[in-house]
Amino acid sequence: MRRAARYNPDLVRMPLIALLCLTGLGTTCTIGAFPALLPELGVDARLRDWELGVVAAAFGFARMAADVPIGLFIRRRLAAAFIVSPAVMGLGVVLLATAHAFPALVAGRLLMGVGQAVGVVAGLTALLQSYAGRRLGAALNAFEFSAMIGLLIGAGLAAALPAGFSWRTVLLLAFVPQIIGLVLLPPILGALRGDVAQAAAAGVTAPAGASRGARTLVGLAFVAGALVAITYTSVEQFIIPVRGSREFGLERPGLARLLMIIQSADLVALLPLGMLSDRHGPARVLGGVVLCVAAGAVLVGFGGVGTMALGCALFGLGMAGWQIPLSVLRRQTPRELVAWRTALYRVGVDAGMFLGPLVSGLAGADQLGAVSVGLGAVLAGVGAVLLVVGSGDARAP
C-alpha cells in the first residue's frame, strides 16, 4: 500500500503529448541559459573567437554526428532513450560547469549535444507515430511550445540571478528542472505503450506512392530546416551575444532580455501556426515563416539595439515554424520508417546547428553583419519557392 501511495496513478492517464511537453520544458532550461553565459565563459577560459565558436558549435556537431546511430537505436529501443537522454545530458552539464581547459569545455558541450539529441529524436518519433493526421501540426508545435517555455525559463534565470553568481553556478541551477523528466519517466513509458499501440491499430499509413511535387516539397522542407538551424544558432548562440556584448556593452541581463524577446515571440505564434499548418497544409505556412526568419536575421546583424530587438521579435515569429517540416515528412513516411527518417532529417538540422556558430566564429566579430545578410538572402529565396510550390499543397490528411 505504501508503494502504491508514492505513485500517482493519475499521471498514467495523462496524454502522451502532455507528458512529453513537461519533459521537454525541463530539458531545455540549460540550453536557454547558455547563450547569455557564453561571453563570461570566453573571458573566464581566455578563449579566442574561433575557440568560442567551437565551444558553441560542439553542441550541434554532437547532435549531427549522433542522429543516425540514435535513429537506429530508437527504432527498436524507444523507451530506453527516455532514460539515456537525461543521464548523458547531466554528465555533459557537470563536465562543462567544472571544466577550465578548452578541450574539456568542448567535451562537455559534446555530451550535452548527444543527450539532447537522444531526447529530441525520441520525443519526435513518439509524436510522429502517435499523432499522424490532422492533429500532427498542433502536437508538434505544442511540443515545441513547451521547449520554448524551458528556453525562456533558462534565459530568465540567467537574467534574474545575481551578477555575483558565476556562469558555472547559473548553468548548474538551470539544469535542475531536468528532474521533471525523471519524475515523469514511469508514466511516459506507460503512456507511450498505450498511445503508440492505439495509433498502430488505427492503421495510420503514408500514401503508397509520392508524386514529383510531393517529393519536391519534402526536399524543400529538409533544406529549409537545415537553413533555419544554421541561422538560429548563428543568431542566438553567437551574433546576439557577441554583438550585444562588444558593440553595445550589454552584460548578462541585457543579453538574456534580447534572447527572451525571441522566445516570447516564438511562444505567441507556435500554437496558431500549428493549427494553420493542419488546416491549410504545411508548405505555404513554412514558406512564410522562413521569410520571417530571413528578415529577423538581417535586422539582428545591423543597426542599434532597437533594430536588433525588432529583429529578435521577427526571428522568434519565424522560429515558431521550426517543426513544420516534420509535418511534410510524416505525410510521405510509413509508420515503421518514422524513426529512421526523423533521424535523417535531424542530421541536416543539427549540421546547421553545428555550422552556424562555427562559421560565425571563423568569420570574426567584424563580419557578423555579412554573415547575417548572406543567411537572410538564401532563406528568402527558399521561402519564396516554398510559397509558390506549396500553393497547390493539399490539406493534411
Domains in the chain (CATH in brackets) are 15-392 (1.20.1250.20)
- The span from the first CA to the last CA of the chain, in angstroms, equals 47
Give burial (CB, 10 Å; 0-12/13-18/19+) of 80: middle
Rounded Cα–Cα distance for residues 397 and 386 (Å): 20
Q: What is the pLDDT along the chain (397 residues), one digit of tens a residue?
A: 444 444 454 444 577 888 888 888 888 899 888 888 888 898 888 888 888 888 888 887 888 888 888 888 887 788 888 888 989 999 999 999 999 899 999 999 999 999 988 988 888 888 877 776 557 777 787 887 888 788 889 888 888 888 888 999 999 999 998 888 888 888 888 877 655 444 444 444 444 445 565 667 777 888 888 888 888 888 887 888 888 888 888 887 888 888 889 888 888 887 788 788 777 777 788 888 899 999 998 998 887 888 889 999 998 888 888 778 877 777 666 667 677 777 778 788 878 777 887 777 777 767 777 888 888 899 999 888 888 876 655 444 4
Model-wide pTM > 0.85: no
